[in-house]
A and B are shown apart, each in its own frame.
Chain A
Amino acid sequence: MITVVDYGRGNLYSLSHALSHIGIGHAVSERPEDILAASAIILPGVGAFADAMDELDQRSLVAPLQDAAGRGVPLLGICLGMQILAATSEEFGRRNGLGIIPGSVRALPEPDDGGGIRIPNVGWRRLALHQEDPLYHGMQEGVMAYFVHSYGFFPEGDAVMATSEVNGLSVPAIVRRRHVVGCQFHPEKSGPVGLEMLHNFFTEARKSATASVRGSEVGAV
């Protein structure tokens, strides 16, 4: 089962339509058991960090998400859903996130008087691709995706797979720690490129599921 986490903080309709369009059957759910039983999870979200964590808390979804990520279940966080993968946020005071990818969430820099990107950063931005990542397999440097955000997630270590430039700062656009991926942009709103990235995520998720089944068979022998 593929579970799209509904915690009252995302535009799930667009995402659900995009998944159906690429032939991915899924359940939209706020139940902990549907996260624990999932073969892959999408964590969407728009709005404020602390608010999102409160909503997850109230639905008892924090531990199931951490548990699933710990067991190697492929997880894709989108926009705020990417940011709450972080350990902490500085948005409206310090607040702990899911802690699935070490790092922190900080405000984007404001533009200079001479121009630049206004905050919130709304629009199509070019991606700089830094490492090989299955999510953007076959895509060109400078491919564009649709962003809407005022904060960025800055992970520790080498988790940054792609960035986009905001007022002189390279802001992570795609992060990955093993099977956990985060997109700052909205793939479900990024036209054919975004749909292809969603498709790539599930292709990779199926591969890792097959690999883990093989692994357990080997273990049984």
Chain B
Amino acid sequence: MASDQRPVSTNSALPPQRVIARIDIKGPNVIKGVHLEGLKVVGKPGAMARQYYEQGADEIIYMDVVASLYGRNGILSVLEEAAAEIFVPMTVGGGIRNVEDIVAALRSGADKVAINTAALQRPEFLSEAARVFGRQCIVLSVEAKQRQPGTWEALTDNGREQTGVDVIEWVAEAEARGIGEILITSVDMEGTQKGFDIELVKAVRDSVSVPVIACGGAGEGAHIRALLEASHCDAVCCASLFHYDRLPLPALKNELAAAGWDVRL
């Protein structure tokens, strides 16, 4: 027997896995694209979030793709509505630029904020945010585009802008600045429903010691099982899988439980 062949039963020795529903928002609508582009309207945020909560989502991530925090249809009004009826952790990202934005997000019902563009423009923002709100509140969001095998570039503005920053160096710096979690989205796999960039998730997870949330590419349960087996990542985040009813949350959790993973049913 190959010693690296890990039997399914040892999964139970690992901590429970979080299954997170991601809701990308533009104006009053939930949208979804492929490689963060070609966005299509797939529903309304309030109804979808409520459905995912009732189906057992362990957490909900709201991402504002046009970074419009404020205003009548801004993501904060979506959060305010959700906070009255959704009692699992909620993270908000897209357009978080300063301490005041974080205060506004928390006051609207967010538990955590996900920061990408503003952190790449001014890395000290992460240190400030972690100091003021505690590291449990600050999630580094990374949009990773593969440049060569084993090398990824961090993009900003929902995948629209290049930075030249190496993802692996960036996550290590962000951890040193005090963030509490990393949400790693593969721009290459995002929306394709063809599976995760497992090498990316492993490389990120191996270079930090904070929890890592993997996002981008889930199209079936086998993709998620392969990701968990290979990377032991701390949480998995899906959008298309749930939006298009490819594999509803309860079915996914049952599949993971049957494979020996500890999930909240």
Contact = CB atoms under 8 A, between A and B. Distances in A.
Interface of A: 11, 13-14, 17-18, 20-21, 46-48, 110, 115-120, 122-126, 144, 146, 148-150, 186, 188-192, 194-195
A148 B87 contact: no
B121 to A, nearest CB: 26
B159 interface: no
Given A11-B111, A17-B84, 4 more contacts: A47-B133, A120-B180, A122-B211, A150-B136
A120 B211 contact: yes
Most interface-central of A11, A115, A125, A194 (chain B CB within 10 A): A11
Contacts of B133: 46-47
Contact of B209 (A48, A118, A146, A195): A118
B75 to A, nearest CB: 15
9 contacts: A13-B83, A14-B109, A118-B234, A120-B136, A122-B136, A122-B234, A149-B136, A189-B88, A190-B88
Contacts of B119: none
A118 B136 CA distance: 12
Nearest to B53: A191
Nearest to B180: A120
Given A11-B106, A46-B134, A116-B15, A122 B180 contact: yes
Interface of B: 13-18, 53, 56, 58, 83-85, 87-89, 106-109, 111, 133-137, 180-181, 209-211, 232, 234-235, 262, 264
A195 B264 contact: no
A45 to B, nearest CB: 10
Contact of B134 (A13, A47, A116): A47
Q: Considering the complex of A and B, which 3 residue pairs feature the smallest CB-CB distances, nearest first?
A: A47-B134, A148-B136, A117-B15
A148 B136 CA distance: 7
Contacts of A148: 89, 136, 180
A189 B87 contact: yes
Most interface-central of A18, A120, A190 (chain B CB within 10 A): A120
A126 B83 CA distance: 24
Most interface-central of B109, B134, B135 (chain A CB within 10 A): B134
B111 to A, nearest CB: 6
A125 B83 CA distance: 22
Given A117-B15, A118-B209, A21 B134 contact: no
A20 B83 CA distance: 11
Contacts of B135: 120, 150
Nearest to B13: A115
Contacts of A14: 83, 87, 109, 111
